[in-house]
């Protein structure tokens, strides 16, 4: 359908969305980035890949308390314009994770999900799982109690082309896992390929996927436009255009198995702009605005609420948020940077003008 400018509404109002995959970090970085996520989202699934990772109920509780404390300080400093924000904590799966610890954390309402990083797949994944079969007893326990497994879906074999690692993971790891344990709830995180989209579409309702704003907006050409673009490097890496189109169709389809997960992953500017830069794209400052552009381009703004605020909550068995947010169709400039000096972080599309602006409630 041809998009007609006159059909674009001047504003849209939707339930306050949730971010089902975000990196909030810790310490000074947490203090500097948290406000952006808390301003946009009611809840967020917080990734556990700190150093050392979050592997126990006690460390998750303590990390959650640090997040809430950082929020309190922000509210105090800035007049408390953030809505209520709830961090949802995750446990980092290792070869030696104790199923009892997981079950206790889930029963006590501390752990909402468990994160699988294949060892050495990405940032702070050195403690990750070396072979999925080693954690079979843990996964069986998870299936029995109903806690979801969140999967970084890439094989780590250096012989596999980096652009193929997601598709190979689905074939070699995810599909066999789902056949062994069909009742396990799984989220294939930050999907980047047509293969992943089709796999999720063909599966039962206990497999879902998150989609980032950046993978909806860029293909792999963007990484090399006029020179190498370290701030567009993330894992899984952006793929070719046909994959981006598949992601855009999936996100805007209304299919309940696809929902919002920014994977906003801040790194300090010197760690990105260097000979061996870190993986991670920082979208938190304007995440909803970025997604809204995609839904507008696909004339699917009527499905934005399902993707951003309903499907994820339904998958996790949580109530939808009652609060509303409004996005106005008006120019919104992405900050050039947030933070100062060595702590500076360069957001996705820094300095550019987006077509939507979030008006927090």
Give the interface with ligand DOR as residue ranges (CB under 6 A): 23, 49, 122-123, 152, 234-235, 265, 279-280
Contact between 286 and 334 (Cβ < 8 Å): yes
CA distance 260 to 37: 13
Quick one: 18 or 154, whose CB is closer to ligand DOR?
Answer: 154
Rounded Cα gap, residues 335 and 48, in angstroms: 27
Cα gap 238→256, rounded to integer Å: 23
Question: Least distance to ligand DOR from the beta carbon of 235, Å?
Answer: 4
Query: Quick one: 59 or 122, whose CB is closer to ligand DOR?
Result: 122
Nearer residue to ligand DOR within complex by CB, 35 or 152: 152
Which of 152, 151, 153 is CA-nearest to residue 167?
Answer: 153
Rounded distance, CA 18 to CA 215, Å? 18
Q: Specify the pairing of strand 186-188 against strand 149-151.
A: parallel
- Residue with Cβ nearer ligand DOR (23 or 257): 23
Closest CA to 348 of 241, 248, 250, 272: 272
Residue 344 binds which of ligand DOR, Zn ion, none (CB < 5-8 A, kind-dependent): none
Residue placing its CB nearer to Zn ion in the complex, 106 or 282? 282
The distance from CA 94 to its chain's CA centroid, rounded to whole angstroms, is 20
Q: Identify whether 164 is a catalytic site residue.
A: no
Residue tagged active-site, from 255, 263, 302, 342: 263
How far the first Cα of the chain sits from its last, in Å, is 33
Q: Which stretch binds Zn ion (CB under 5 A): 62-70, 210-218, 263-271, 351-359?
A: 263-271
Report which of 116, 99, 96, 118 is spatially closest to residue 185, judged by C-alpha positions.
Answer: 116
**Between 44 and 309, CB nearer to ligand DOR:** 44
Among the candidate windows 67-75, 234-242, 257-265, 326-334, which touches Zn ion by CB under 5 A?
Answer: 257-265
Selection from ligand DOR, Zn ion, none that 283 binds (CB < 5 to 8 A by kind) is none
- Interaction of residue 263 with Zn ion, rule CB under 5 A: yes
Sequence-distant (≥ 6) Cβ neighbours of residue 85 within 8 angstroms: 37, 38, 41, 42, 43, 44, 71
Query: What residue 264 binds from Zn ion, ligand DOR, none (CB within 5 to 8 A, per partner kind)?
Result: none
Written as six digits, the tokens of 355 are 């077509």
Smallest separation, CB 152 to ligand DOR (Å)? 5
Closest contact distance (angstroms) between CB of 355 and ligand DOR is: 26
Binding partner of residue 210 among Zn ion, ligand DOR, none, CB under 5 to 8 Å per kind? none
Q: How far is the CB of 356 from ligand DOR (least distance, A)?
A: 24
Partner whose binding site includes residue 49, from Zn ion, ligand DOR, none (CB under 5 to 8 Å by kind): ligand DOR
For the bound state, the minimum distance from the C-beta of residue 71 to ligand DOR, rounded and expressed in Å, comes to 21
Both tokens of residue 164? 């193929």
CA angle centred on 287, ends 285 and 291, rounded to 5°: 155
Q: Which residues bind Zn ion (CB under 5 A)?
A: 263
Q: Give the catalytic positions in this structure.
A: 263
């Amino acid at each position: 359908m041809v998009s007609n400018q006159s059909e674009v509404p001047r504003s849209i109002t939707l339930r306050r969305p949730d971010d089902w995959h975000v990196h909030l970090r810790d310490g000074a970085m947490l203090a500097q980035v948290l406000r952006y996520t808390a301003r946009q989202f009611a809840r967020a699934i917080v990734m556990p890949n700190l150093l050392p990772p979050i592997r126990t109920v006690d460390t998750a509780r303590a990390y959650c308390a640090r997040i809430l404390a950082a929020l309190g300080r922000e509210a105090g400093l800035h007049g408390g314009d953030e809505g209520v924000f709830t961090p949802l904590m995750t446990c980092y799966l290792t070869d030696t994770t104790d199923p009892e610890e997981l079950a206790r954390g889930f029963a006590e309402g501390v752990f909402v999900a468990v994160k699988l990083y294949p060892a050495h797949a990405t940032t702070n994944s050195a403690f990750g799982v070396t072979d999925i079969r080693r954690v079979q007893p843990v996964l069986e326990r998870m299936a029995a109690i109903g806690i979801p497994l969140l999967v970084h879906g890439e094989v780590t074999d250096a012989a596999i082309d980096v652009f193929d690692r997601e598709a190979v993971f689905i074939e070699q790891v995810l599909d066999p896992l789902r056949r062994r344990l069909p009742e396990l709830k799984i989220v294939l995180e930050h999907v980047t390929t047509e293969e992943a989209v089709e796999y999720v579409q063909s599966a039962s309702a206990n497999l879902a996927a998150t989609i980032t704003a950046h993978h909806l907006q860029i293909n792999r050409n963007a990484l090399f436009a006029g020179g190498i673009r370290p701030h567009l490097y993330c894992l899984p890496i952006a793929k070719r255009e046909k994959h981006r189109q598949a992601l855009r169709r999936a996100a805007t389809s209304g299919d309940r198995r696809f929902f919002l997960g920014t994977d906003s992953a801040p790194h300090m500017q010197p760690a990105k702009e260097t000979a061996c830069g870190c993986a991670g794209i920082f979208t938190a400052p304007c995440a909803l605005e970025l997604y809204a552009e995609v839904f507008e381009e696909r004339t699917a703004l009527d499905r934005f609420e399902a993707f951003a605020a309903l499907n994820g909550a339904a998958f996790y068995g949580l109530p939808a948020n009652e609060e509303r947010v409004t996005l106005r169709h008006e120019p919104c400039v992405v900050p050039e940077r947030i933070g100062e000096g060595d702590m500076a972080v360069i957001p996705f599309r820094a300095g550019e003008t987006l077509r939507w602006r979030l008006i927090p409630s």
